[in-house]
Amino acid sequence: MKHYTTRKRVLSALAIGTVAVGLLAGCSGGGTGGSTTSPEGDTYELWDPYPERDASSDWAKVIDACATDLGITIKRNVGNTGDTVKDLTTAAPNLPDVALVDNPKVATLAEAGLLTTTEDNGLDVSNIQENILGAGEIDGKFYGVPVGANTLGLYYNPEVLTAAGVDIASVTDYATLTDALNKVVAAGKKGITFSAVGTEEGTFQFLPWFWGAGADLTELDSAEGVASLELWTNWVNEGLAPNSVLQNTQGTSWDEFKTGEYAFAENGSWFKGDADAAGYESIQIPGIDGGVAPAPTGGEFLTIPVQQDAARYATSIKIVECLTDGNTSADALGYIAPTAAGQEAQLEADPSLAGWVQAVADAKPRTSDNLATAYPIISEQLFTAVQNALSGAASPADALARAQADAEAKLQ
């Protein structure tokens, strides 16, 4: 098996980050507030990637409630996910006190020396579900706390399946799913829709099938990896999935499913409310030979960036603890809570979440196996291979062989 040479780069970056924490902590002044003796009345800055959530949103209300409880002002700075990460990398040494970051980007900021570890700042992560927390881990150190998590599943339209004579209980692996798609198409409806777009969304949606076949991101062109891409390619070539998957985002894929013409749609837990209203149901994505395929975890991490004034960390910790206490923030953002207590509260309020709570428990971080900042590079090669195979530009085997070679070249 091939292994990417990321460990040396990550360890070097962590050393730089540790030095940065020590040096900046020794400086006077800095930060967005004033007093270093008492936080009461001070202003603390929080950056998040939710420009669509204005001051009247549930998320903004949760932040305001925490500010009131702590006797401080929390100033929000919002931007799209990519903009938030870019802005953070150019903001030093005037970084915000707390930053909410898409989980695959945590490693990028950690490698740049911009984030404190939970060991540095004193955040307790012992009660957080291990696989959710793992998205922010590099070499045993944790660089933030998940506010919650979402993941992918397989939605289905019971009316379409019943009309085609398909029992959802019969769908247990790749072969039986393909059989079901064939029956649906033969009955005059459409099979399955998903997103294979040439962005991280495409990789995100392909990973359950890739991992479910037993493939590993360190060896894209393995026999297992080829089998997973052949599955998707055959679906498109045989008319079981539409050509539009090459351009579909997860949103446009969902719009296709909502036409009522499709039997299945791979999509996220965030569409559960919409699915419930339409009478759709969901199961976990099956593995190639049965069982459950691990889907990737989605969601953001609350991180504490490096500050010039180390006295600010104490209140930053309180902000993060407040925002991750129970299930309030997870509910406001449409996530499954990252702790057992938070999940229990969600299930008590809505027992129908049980399937998604289990799906999150079975999910896997995209940066697992200590891939860290190698992940975005690997992901780009993987979604490019998916595009090449589904468009007919290359066979699945050739597309993945090229992806593996390009990933290795870029990670030298």
Predicted pLDDT of residue 10: 33
Report the run of H or E that residue 295 belongs to, with start and end. none
Predicted pLDDT of residue 17: 38
DSSP state of 301: E
- 52: Cβ contacts below 8 Å, ≥ 6 apart: none
Predicted pLDDT of residue 90: 85
Predicted pLDDT of residue 30: 34
Going by CATH, does the domain composed of 7-146+298-361 fall within 3.40.190.10?
Answer: yes
Give the residue ranges of DSSP H helices in 54-142: 58-70, 81-91, 106-111, 118-121, 130-133
Residues found in the chain: 412
| Sign for the pseudo-dihedral over CA of 108, 114, 118, 119 | positive
Tell me the whole-structure pTM to 2 decimals. Answer: 0.87
* C-alpha dihedral (78, 83, 84, 89), degrees to nearest 10: -140
Q: Where are the domains of the chain?
A: 7-146+298-361, 152-296+369-410
**Under a CB-based contact definition with an 8 Å cutoff, are residues 281 and 155 in contact?**
yes
* Relative orientation angle of helices 223-237 and 174-186, to the nearest 10 degrees: 0
Predicted pLDDT of residue 206: 98
308-310-312 Cα angle (round to 5)? 100
- 328: Cβ contacts below 8 Å, ≥ 6 apart: 62
Long-range contacts formed by 17-20: CB under 8 A, 24+ apart: 17/110, 17/111, 17/112, 17/113, 17/114, 17/115, 17/306, 18/120, 19/113, 20/113, 20/114, 20/306
* DSSP codes, 26-60: TS-S-SS---SS--TT-EEEEEES-TTS-TTSHHH
What distances in angstroms separate CA 412 from CA 10, 192, 400, one per listed residue? 13, 38, 18
Report the run of H or E that residue 326 belongs to, with start and end. none
Predicted pLDDT of residue 338: 95
Long-range contacts formed by 79-82: CB under 8 A, 24+ apart: 79/47, 79/49, 79/51, 80/49, 80/51, 81/49, 81/105
**In terms of CATH architecture, what is 152-296+369-410?**
3-Layer(aba) Sandwich (3.40)
Q: Alpha-carbon distance 259 to 257, whole Å?
A: 5
158-164-166 Cα angle (round to 5)? 65
Residue 195 is encoded by which pair of tokens? 């997103």
Predicted pLDDT of residue 39: 54
- Helix, strand, coil percentages (3-state) for the chain, rounded to 5, are 50, 15, 35
pLDDT along the chain (412 residues), means of 10: 38 35 31 42 91 95 97 91 79 89 91 92 91 91 95 98 98 98 98 97 98 97 98 98 98 97 97 96 98 96 93 95 93 95 96 97 91 93 98 98 97 91
**7-146+298-361 and 152-296+369-410 share one CATH topology?**
yes
Q: Alpha-carbon distance 296 to 363, whole Å?
A: 5
Amino acid at site 81? T
Q: Name residue 137's beta-bridge partners.
A: 142
Helix (H, G, I), strand (E, B) or coil at 71: coil
Predicted pLDDT of residue 86: 81
* DSSP codes, 158-216: HHHHHHTT--GGG--SHHHHHHHHHHHHHTTSEEEE----SSHHHHHHHHHHHHHTT-B
- 179: Cβ contacts below 8 Å, ≥ 6 apart: 170
